[in-house]
Amino acid sequence: MSDYKIYYNPNCGTARSTLALLREAGIEPEIVEYLKTPPSRAELAALARQMGGARGLLREKEKLAEELGLKQAGDEAILDAIAAHPVLLNRPVVVSPKGVKACRPAEMVKELL
């Protein structure tokens, strides 16, 4: 099992680029297609703790985020919303021995290598 995990959407260019950068570095991460296999609320909370808060997990540009009033919401509301609507997960999120980061732009993954 890899020390790296990527929460991945194959339809997202940034996610594809991030995965390519990991592979170029010789890393084959565990790939979690989060729209098919959404992370649990507990898993999201653990990611948020490692990132220093849930805001980084939220895809704020998603129309649903605005509809649900998440722009000003606290961590608990954000985590509840992402657990209920995985499309709200900011992608790609990479878990590594050096930490957890939403890698937008893809080059941010280099900080985790």
> What residues are annotated to the active site?
12
What sign has the CA pseudo-torsion 68, 70, 76, 80?
positive
54 neighbors 44 (Cβ within 8 angstroms): yes
Q: Which helix (H) or strand (E) holds 30?
A: strand 30-33
